[in-house]
Structure 1
């Protein structure tokens, strides 16, 4: 055989072996990659304190920390870290029988002493949690034995078990996670929980990597690791998804409706929409500027063509909302008359209130003042921005000038608390918060609700009714009080319901086991696998 032919054949063999090796390497790399599920979020996860709120992100807290009881299908309260419980005849004492042999992610024991330490850490910071009635109702806690824990209440508080299912603050931190003074309000040492995931690597505002908790007592996740990439910009998130840098986008308001429609219509990806989980609303401040006037608040309601918004913006992903809560929320089926779109009625209300339209600007004035309002939105929420722009156009038609103020998340939340808004977005929280926990929070300046209602002449009566409804054991009285609260808020037009919001999911073909949560703000990942 000629030398040059032999050399050529050797080169072909070497090239073939190289290609095989590369192919095997690629396959191995792909297999390794399939052990890590990559998702994206629009905000940093925070410091993972189970007992505190923003900037802690609820989905991340839920992955690491667990509760005594869990909110199950159809609203059933299910055993979780507590295997069962007893309730005294007067409804004031709850005795929890804890599961045995449960370990925290660091290998330490979960027991009644640890449960009591967590309760004490929360209750020592009770003022911070006073918007949640459960913290006001707990009189004392006690250890019966290593696996038995008792809570005594001041009154018979009917939603007690429901409140224990919440993502925060009644979840449990391992002993080594507590600071030296046990004051978790000021921070924690380490995020040690009993949940299926452990935070293994973290770079603020960039990424967080979770791995399986080797000590987890329940069914372990299907993948070894979960990476959360922090991508505030929605367009960048979509590009990362299309490039397969992200396997799954699941949640509310993580991508725009246009992007969801685009990804769905390509038919290259799997998509899904959950059942309605909460109500997307705008709070109207009855205690600031021109929105103090009921006629102005009602005019805004009648000026907004919500159905046109639903048809042209949401592409069938959400349903138009007419009331603060959907009729299937307990105690909320009240047959309230919607403040529907009525252009002429909106203008007539402003005319009667003395607001006259000026030909030179098209906006209304009274006593030399322009009818000008501010709507505050979250800068990272593309859906809020789209709704705001639509509302801005509708209000302009009746002579109201609406300025859109975009704030980063912390400033946005601070405006809710301080009342520095005429209008501000204020989504309800869904199950298991509705209606009792959401109404309970209205009595404190923790969210936009308190400030929005502060100018109402019957605000004190509303707050008293909320207090009473949470403690009554008389079902008929409870229904009557809920009816008064919800009917009054509706008639006072302090909420502009927009739509009943849903979670959206977009994921690649190789992702399997995607489910929607039955509690808002959580991310069920345990059953997801990468094929």
Structure 2
């Protein structure tokens, strides 16, 4: 090989190496500046994100799929993929007028046929029977390419609220299944009209999203969002500090209240906070003999110091609870949700009247909770244990893995007390009341069984006017208070923490769509 040939080859190699190095030195920086990394507690289930199922993360559903109507401030319903609608006087017929400028992320058109595909995919499915929209839908009819009419067997004021939720009523492309357009087809991939689309997924590791180029609200900036699975709250805080994530919080990736103090005192981070529509409470299993006496349940309410819980344990990141639902939930008033003031003497007296205490039987209860999604629940449970010990009630704490925890609530009902949280936004109050306190097919409620309460809940669901609904909920909330159906504890704020160089933080419309992700930008 000649010297000239060797020099030519070396020149080519040097060019390739230098070009490669130059590309490598630029692209990672650009990539880093355009990428927002978000902490999530658990796997997103992106490979199973059928809009009409319950398989994936609720926050991922809202990133990919749009609702027909949206939840607004104070429970007002706003246009979504339906730009307007009419409801018949008897409350049984809904006509939706659809937007005409919308495409799915694969470029296909959103229209009446696409909506009918989604509806027929969830219609008549047993797993959706707990939702009034699914239970009462008799038929659906296409009026024209952008008008659809739904016919219901009975009126229910919850229908529009349920349509705002993260699942299972959001709209997916007929191309999401195979064969395409078959309502019973096999799910293939998540194709929605929402602002984001899924581009890659590693189970229990990360989900990568990029903007939907066809997004109907306008073209989004060229960026990428990576949802990283970090199950442990302390590890999430460390990841924020070292910069491997830029934002964490909400129900998708809580930061512990203890660590919030540190972030608030460091100008490298910004803590975002707003009043929420969720509440923490103790579910009381009145199928257990010792908890069937109203005096025992009232004693539990008097014995727990909710002010102390809010001030010391939860560090004022919310407010002490009175009724089951927060004041941000429609139809909640001071009059129908007065709460129980902390009073040890009253608690002891009620327990003695029920046959427990120093001169009676010993009362032992088990308290079930979990910390994977709610790290603060361990400390809350310990405070409750100490409070109840002061009035002679011995509490055994049972911190369960989240799957077992939910199984204990929904399937086994093998607890005495269970630390839980209400739903949020559109499912409050009616949807949550239906799911936990209305009597189902086996003659029992999930969290509490009471025929009168169940009847009141059913009546409230059929009320149409705001006046009728207010009257119905006044009756429900007052009954729950008088009978001490639950122990309301705390109304937590919605909280996110992000690095201070991440700008454009904007709250989303519902807790399951907590942040307008496409507004986030990293300063260069």
Instruction: State if a TM-score over 0.5 links the two structures.
Output: yes
Indicate the SS of the match to 1:356: coil
Q: Tell whether the 8 Å contact from 1:322 to 1:339 is kept in structure 2 after alignment.
A: yes
- Match of residue 437 from structure 1: 431
Structure 1 length-normalised TM? 0.87
More moved, 518-527 vs 238-247 = 518-527
Q: Tell whether the 8 Å contact from 1:199 to 1:208 is kept in structure 2 after alignment.
A: yes
Q: Tell whether the 8 Å contact from 1:325 to 1:332 is kept in structure 2 after alignment.
A: yes
When residues 212 and 269 of structure 1 are mapped into structure 2, their CA distance, relative to the original with a 3 A threshold, is same
- Match of residue 277 from structure 2: 277
Query: How far has the Cα of 1:321 moved from its partner?
Result: 0.7
Please give the alpha-carbon distance, in whole angstroms, between the structure 2 residues aligned to 1:79 and 1:263.
37
Out of 498, 510, 521, the position equivalent to 2:512 is: 521
Query: How far has the Cα of 1:31 moved from its partner?
Result: 2.8
Query: How far has the Cα of 1:233 moved from its partner?
Result: 0.6
Corresponding position: 1:502 with 2:485? no
Query: How far has the Cα of 1:179 moved from its partner?
Result: 4.8
More moved, 495-504 vs 249-258 = 249-258
Please give the alpha-carbon distance, in whole angstroms, between the structure 1 residues aligned to 2:381 and 2:309.
11
Corresponding position: 1:394 with 2:387? yes
When residues 530 and 222 of structure 1 are mapped into structure 2, their CA distance, relative to the original with a 3 A threshold, is farther
- Match of residue 450 from structure 1: 445
Could you tell me which runs of 5 or more consecutive residues in structure 1 were left unpaired when the two chains were aligned.
1-20, 359-364
- Match of residue 139 from structure 1: 138
- Match of residue 52 from structure 1: 53
Query: How far has the Cα of 1:469 moved from its partner?
Result: 1.9
Q: Tell whether the 8 Å contact from 2:172 to 2:191 is kept in structure 1 after alignment.
A: yes
Q: Tell whether the 8 Å contact from 2:91 to 2:464 is kept in structure 1 after alignment.
A: no
The size of the alignment, in residue pairs, is 495
CA deviations on 1:23-43 (whole Å, 9 max, x unpaired) are 997665333211111000111
Query: How far has the Cα of 1:251 moved from its partner?
Result: 0.8
Q: Tell whether the 8 Å contact from 2:74 to 2:329 is kept in structure 1 after alignment.
A: no
Query: How far has the Cα of 1:237 moved from its partner?
Result: 0.8
Q: Tell whether the 8 Å contact from 1:221 to 1:528 is kept in structure 2 after alignment.
A: no
Q: Tell whether the 8 Å contact from 1:40 to 1:246 is kept in structure 2 after alignment.
A: yes
Query: How far has the Cα of 1:178 moved from its partner?
Result: 2.4
Could you tell me which runs of 5 or more consecutive residues in structure 2 were left unpaired when the two chains were aligned.
1-19
More moved, 339-348 vs 219-228 = 219-228
Please give the alpha-carbon distance, in whole angstroms, between the structure 2 residues aligned to 1:23 and 1:182.
47
Q: Tell whether the 8 Å contact from 1:294 to 1:493 is kept in structure 2 after alignment.
A: yes
Q: Tell whether the 8 Å contact from 2:206 to 2:228 is kept in structure 1 after alignment.
A: yes
- Match of residue 10 from structure 2: none
Structure 2 length-normalised TM? 0.88
Query: How far has the Cα of 1:342 moved from its partner?
Result: 0.8
Alignment of 1:101-500 (within 5 A): 101-125=101-125, 127-180=126-179, 188-222=187-221, 224-252=223-251, 254-335=254-335, 336-357=337-358, 366=361, 370-380=362-372, 381-418=374-411, 419-441=413-435, 442-443=437-438, 450-454=445-449, 459-473=450-464, 475-500=466-491
More moved, 221-230 vs 349-358 = 349-358
Indicate the SS of the match to 1:141: strand
Query: How far has the Cα of 1:212 moved from its partner?
Result: 1.2
When residues 416 and 472 of structure 1 are mapped into structure 2, their CA distance, relative to the original with a 3 A threshold, is same
Query: How far has the Cα of 1:517 moved from its partner?
Result: 2.7
Indicate the SS of the match to 1:95: strand
